[in-house]
Structure 1
Amino acid sequence: MNPVSRLRSSSRTPFLQVVKTAVAVVAAVLLCRLVIDGPFPTFAAIAALLVVQPSINQSFVKGLERSAGVVLGVVLATGFHLWLGDAVWVVLVVIVLAILLSWALRLTPTSATQVGISGMLVLTAGVVTPNYSADRILETVIGAVVALVVNALIVPPVLLEPAHLAVARLARDTAAAFERIAIGLTEGWDDDRWHEALLQARALRQQHARAEASLTAAGESLTMNPRGGRHRTILQRDVAVAEHLRVLVTRVTGMTRAIRDNTAPGLRSDPVVGSIATEVARIGADVRALSARVEATRIDAPDGTAALDEGPDPAEAAAPALTAPLRVVRPNSQHWVLIGALLEDIRRVREELLGEDD
């Protein structure tokens, strides 16, 4: 892999966030020049650059981490300067002690890095006095607060739509996986077709992991966000649907693997297998209906708020197509292991869709 390619991200930062970062830096520097009489407020500019994050909650956390690191670094550097002066070896001692102190206090990477950087900047910037150190701390606080305010006032981000679409897509693809099983049992697929179906079913696990990551990011974006409102209700529904889909993804993968490992030429002719195919097709229809209900929930209403359908909760499968559990009076002597496993999986999926207890 080309090392230079690692310098570039697979996706761009939203342009709005770039604008907010620039506004925060300019506002923080100008405000510091009005409040503090001194050199260019470097600490304020750095704080503003780092604190503007994709969500308000992340900005708040970054502001706390940044401020804590600056306070520790400035206090450490000021103390050693008053004690030992500002020789080069003193700067190195302060940096090493900052690293050890951060490790001892179990600081986050942001705070730990900031302790050493702040200490180094204070000792190398010029004459260090208690007033100088206090001004640098004040600069950092101003920069962090300005960045947080800018991020909150200029269209605070809501990352619900990508998560909502990811959940709907996962439900749709899970339904397709069940439908593939029904088609394969009906048509009598060979080993290669079942192997391909298994690969597609296994891919659902990674897709579910990505959907959960999107839901986590959406939750982060709604924390401390004044635009949260009814978006939080939709997020709760999507989280509930994703939890249902986690079980269904596990089941459909297991069913596909069981058939791939135990399929035989005479499997298609077994009458119970035909009934199983019918039930699995109905499962696919129910999961596809679940996907449709998720997609029918509108995220962006004309007034800029979240709009909920008047229908049932998407996490609840209304009027499922599943029939009563199948009964096998005489098990097939050749395929009874596979048939028994599929029947148990159908029972568990049915319980999940109907919300029944095991």
Structure 2
Amino acid sequence: MLNKIMDFIKYKGVIWKTPLAAALSWELAEWAGSKHPYLAPLTVILSIQLTVDKSLKFAWQRILGTVAGVLFTASIAPYIGLNGWSIGLLLLVGALIVMWLKLEHAIMIQIALSILMVMYFQSKMPSYPLDRIRDTVIGAIVAILIHILIFPPDSVNKAKKKMVHFADHLSAHFTKTAIWVQEGCSPSGAPTLQTGLQTLFQEIHQATTELNKAEQSLRYNPLGQKKRSTLNEYTQQMHKLRSGYANLADIIRVLTKWSESGNFVKEDQTVWAGHLNTLAKLVKEWKSVLDDPGTFSSVANGPAPQIKAPANIKNYQYPLALFMNAEQVVQDFQNAALSNKVQ
């Protein structure tokens, strides 16, 4: 039960941080003399995002837009009165200024909200403009401090899980390719392998996205040095996974062409089925290290698989690989050019 509570606190911060920060910001706003303390928790609710990076960006935009909108409106509103046309005029002028200064759209929204609210409330409650600025700053500061200092968002473990998940599927796809080769590279099996590659591509994109989220969350975390080191290691391992995926895609492409040439004899099929099974096993063992670093010594001490070109073709392997890749580029772009002409 205690573990579940701790997991909730660590990994579900977006649920409990908002109420905590909202309550604290309300009390601070009242203590500071605000007559509209609800503006502070309103900023908290808007500012706490999934990552610290996004929270900081929104909080800054909220403060800048609010200050600009309040000062602009408070200086002009007394001279133009309150009606639909005056509100529309100020909103238009505010939007034109934002466009002229090339500010972000989010800032324009905050300026527009401040113009509307100050226009309406200033005549009824003279303290509203000052309260809006002060309470917005209080809410933004409280939201950011709580988000950064108390169990900041952590996507490192999520990124690791997605990488392990992808490595497992990559190993399985090597095995499926080996079976396809052993069975003679049937044309009907090739589309299934290509569909699997597309799924793997989506998974590697998801893992990369999670790594980026983790990096954004840790960027402004002063207590995240250990997590940053772990994240750097995962980023390096991610390069290996991308390389493994790219090489598997190339292997399937070459095997398909070899089979279509009619020269992929049974003996070669058996040899390459064995090589692919070896690669599948290698990726699986590597995945176990990623999943549990404690297994590194047992895996590292094992014999490294040897997959090398025979001596009689060793001098030709590089130019052949270059020709294969160059041929693929020609086919890709030639087909694209023909497609554009047809359209």
Same fold (TM > 0.5): yes
Mapping of 1:135-154 within 5 angstroms?
Answer: 135-154=131-150
The equivalent position to 1:79 in structure 2, one of 44, 66, 75, is 75
* 2:170 maps to 1:179: no
Contact 1:185 1:273 in 2 (8 A): yes
Deviation at 1:227, TM superposition (A): 4.7
Alignment of 1:298-313 (within 5 A): 309=294, 311=296
TM, length-normalised to structure 2: 0.79
Matched-pair contact (CA < 8 Å) for 1:159–1:218: yes
Give yes or no for the alignment of 1:59 onto 2:55.
yes
Pick from 34, 38, 42: which aligns with 1:46? 42
* Structure with the higher helix share, 1 or 2: 2
**CA shift in 2, pair 1:92/1:80, >3 Å:** same
CA distance in 2, matches of 1:75, 1:325: 74
Amino acid in structure 1 at the alignment position of 2:198:
R
Against the structure 1 CA distance between its residues 29 and 275, is the aligned structure 2 distance closer, same or farther, given a 3 Å change threshold?
same
**How many Å separate the matches in 1 of 2:12 and 2:141?**
21
CA distance in 2 between counterparts of 1:101 and 1:257 reads: 55
Q: Which residue of 2 aligns with 1:208?
A: 204
Match of 2:5 in 1: none
Letter in 1 for 2:55: S
Residue of structure 2 equivalent to 1:26:
23
Displacement of 1:99 in angstroms is 2.2
Q: Find the counterpart in structure 1 of residue 91 from structure 2.
A: 95
Instruction: Give secondary structure in 2 for the equivalent of 1:102.
Output: helix
Cα distance in structure 2, aligned partners of 1:342 and 1:258:
12
| Alpha-carbon distance in structure 2 between the residues aligned to 1:237 and 1:318 | 22
**Identity percentage over the alignment?**
21
Counterpart residue identity of residue 28, structure 1: S
CA contact (8 A) 2:121 2:128 kept: no
For structure 1, the residue ranges without an aligned partner over 5 or more in a row are 1-13, 298-308, 331-335, 346-358
- Please tell me whether residue 323 in structure 1 is matched to residue 320 in structure 2: no
**Shift in Å at residue 273 of structure 1?**
3.9
Distance 1:227 1:322 in 2: 44
Structure 1 residues 161 and 244 mapped into 2: Cα distance closer, same or farther (>3 Å)?
same
Does the 8 A contact of 1:81 with 1:128 survive in 2? no
Counterparts in 2 of 1:37 and 1:261: CA distance versus 1, 3 Å: same
Distance apart, 1:211 and its partner CA: 0.7
Contact in 1 for aligned 2:288/2:295 (Cα 8 Å): no
Amino acid at match of 2:30: R
1:248–1:56 distance in 2 versus 1, CA, 3 Å: same
Offset of residue 35 of structure 1: 0.7
Distance in structure 2 (CA, Å) of the matches to 1:319 and 1:105: 63
Helix, strand or coil at the partner of 2:225: coil
**Which residue number in structure 2 is paired with residue 17 of structure 1?**
14
Deviates more, 1:230-239 or 1:206-215: 230-239
- Distance in structure 2 (CA, Å) of the matches to 1:43 and 1:179: 59
Letter in 1 for 2:32: V
Question: Against the structure 1 CA distance between its residues 200 and 327, is the aligned structure 2 distance closer, same or farther, given a 3 Å change threshold?
Answer: farther
1:163 CA displacement: 0.4
C-alpha spacing 1:230/1:153, structure 2 compared with 1 (3 Å): closer
Q: 1:230 aligns to what SS in structure 2?
A: helix
**Offset at residue 230 of structure 1 (A):** 1.7
Structure 1 residue 261 displacement after superposition: 5.2
Per the alignment, residue 284 of structure 1 pairs with: 280
The normalised TM-score by structure 1 is: 0.76
In structure 1, what is the equivalent of residue 235 of structure 2? 239
Amino acid at match of 1:110: A
Gaps of 5+ in 2: 1-10, 326-343
In the alignment, residue 96 of structure 1 is paired with which amino acid?
L
Q: Give the C-alpha shift of residue 30 in structure 1.
A: 1.9
SS in structure 1 of the partner of residue 189 of structure 2: helix
Cα deviation for residue 123 of structure 1 reads 0.6
2:118 aligned partner: 122
- Name the structure 1 match of 2:252: 256
Check 1:255–1:317 CA distance in 2 against 1; reply closer, same or farther (3 A cut).
farther
Is residue 272–residue 328 contact of structure 1 (8 Å, CA) maintained in 2? Answer: no
1:274 aligned residue (270, 273, 280): 270
The CA deviation at 1:171 is 1.8
Structure 2 CA distance for aligned equivalents of residues 224 and 97 of structure 1: 35
Q: Conserved in 2, the CA contact under 8 Å of 1:25 and 1:45?
A: yes
1:199 alignment counterpart: 195
CA distance in 2, matches of 1:222, 1:90: 45
- The structural deviation recorded for 1:64 is 0.9
Partners of 1:213 and 1:59 lie apart in 2 by 18
